[in-house]
Amino acid sequence: MNINDKIKHVAIIMDGNGRWAQNRCRPRVWGHIRGSSIVSDIVEEADDLGLHALTLYAFSTENWSRPLGEVTTLFNLLKKFLLKERRKILKNRVRFKVIGDVSNLPLPTRELINKLEKETKDFKGLKLSFAFGYGGRNEMINAVNKWAQSNPERPFSEEDMEANLYQPDLGDVDLLIRTGGDQRISNFLLWQMAYAELFFTPTKWPDFTREEFRGIIYQVSGRERRFGTIGATESLDESCLLARKNLEELNQIYR
Ligand code: FPP
């Protein structure tokens, strides 16, 4: 079985950092710091598995309401990641992008993001996106408004929506993984997840490993994905075939 036939784009909600730290009597930010060190491993594994796209939920629009210290830590972790991983991203021809509203990030971090996005925009390797300052509803409202500015006369279509999302060629999500035990989508990639397979693991993000990631991808690639249809074949077992034959005979008699 080739996993890439079924799973091309994986999105991850990296949840459970705060609880992971609190369970160890540490401040919540400790969990984020530990969690950020896992990110690079998972990116590498996604690349090794031949995935086309990996989108990581690093900071949601709702996360703005967290304590300032926690928000600042998350900003700093993003900056550190950009500085530390830049060479590897370039070497592996990974196309890097941040989706969301980053206008409130410190200028040096925005400059690092812009630089890396520009440097990697033509790369054909893994599409790595960080959702930062991201909300699925905001993304859709932003897309509609962007479109309306230039097309006031025409009805809005699915293609128009896709063309105006933060990253138009990102494509639908095939698999959403959420760590930390909760079973929610939390305003993540609402449009792109219309037919995503969902996988919820109790593992908290700082304990998530390449092995668990790989195992989930293999497990889910065995699922049948029907996209609202009845599947590849309408398989009738023998008893159904017999029932159908009897029905046809009855129809003959009573016609
Ligand atoms: C949710 O855990 C996680 C986040 C809000 C942030 C996720 C961020 C990282 C894993 C690190 C970011 C790294 C980079 C490189 C940008 P939570 O705090 O809600 O956990 P809880 O549910 O246990 O409280």
Task: Map out the domains of the chain as residue ranges.
Answer: 9-223, 228-255
What end-to-end distance do the CA atoms of the chain give, in Å? 49
Distance (Å) from CA 250 to ligand 1 centroid: 63
Among 15, 17, 164, 174, which one carries the catalytic annotation? 15
Ligand 1 atom with least separation from CA of 60: 5
Residue 228: predicted pLDDT: 66
Ligand 1 atom with least separation from CA of 81: 15
Tens-binned pLDDT, residue by residue, of the chain (255 aa): 688 888 999 999 999 999 999 999 999 999 999 999 999 999 999 999 999 999 999 999 999 999 999 999 999 999 999 999 999 999 999 999 999 999 999 999 999 999 999 999 999 999 999 999 999 999 999 999 999 888 767 888 999 999 999 999 999 999 999 999 999 999 999 999 999 999 999 999 999 999 999 999 999 998 877 776 766 555 556 665 666 666 676 666 665
| 47 is known as an active-site residue | no
pTM over 0.85? The answer is yes
| 101 is known as an active-site residue | no
Distance CA 187, CA 121 (A): 26
Taking CA 208 as the corner, what is the angle to CA 207 and CA 212, rounded to the nearest 5 degrees?
135
- The rounded Cα 220 to chain-centroid distance in angstroms is 15
Verify whether ligand 1 is closer than 6 Å to residue 17 (CB atom). yes
Among 4, 47, 63, 101, which one carries the catalytic annotation? 63
Architecture label for domain 9-223: 3-Layer(aba) Sandwich (3.40)
- Spell out a b/e string for 167-198, using b for 16 or more CB atoms within 10 Å of the CB, else e: beebebbbbbbbbbeeeeeebbbebbbeebbe
Half-sphere exposure for 189 (CA within 13 Å, toward CB): 31
For 55, phi then psi, to 5°, come to -120, 120
What is the number of other CB atoms lying within 10 angstroms of the CB of residue 213? Answer: 22
Distance (Å) from CA 231 to ligand 1 centroid: 37
Burial class for 124, CB neighbours closer than 10 Å (0-12, 13-18, 19+):
exposed
Question: Which of 12, 13, 17 maximizes ligand 1 atoms within 8 Å of its Cβ, making it the mutation to test the pocket?
Answer: 17
Distance (Å) from CA 88 to ligand 1 centroid: 23
Strand 53-60 relative to strand 175-178, pairing:
unpaired
Verify whether ligand 1 is closer than 6 Å to residue 75 (CB atom). no
SS (H, E, C) 24-39: CCCCHHHHHHHHHHHH
Verify whether ligand 1 is closer than 6 Å to residue 135 (CB atom). no
CB 75 within 8 A of CB 130: no
Beta bridge partners, 60, equal 134
Verify whether ligand 1 is closer than 6 Å to residue 39 (CB atom). yes
Verify whether ligand 1 is closer than 6 Å to residue 165 (CB atom). no
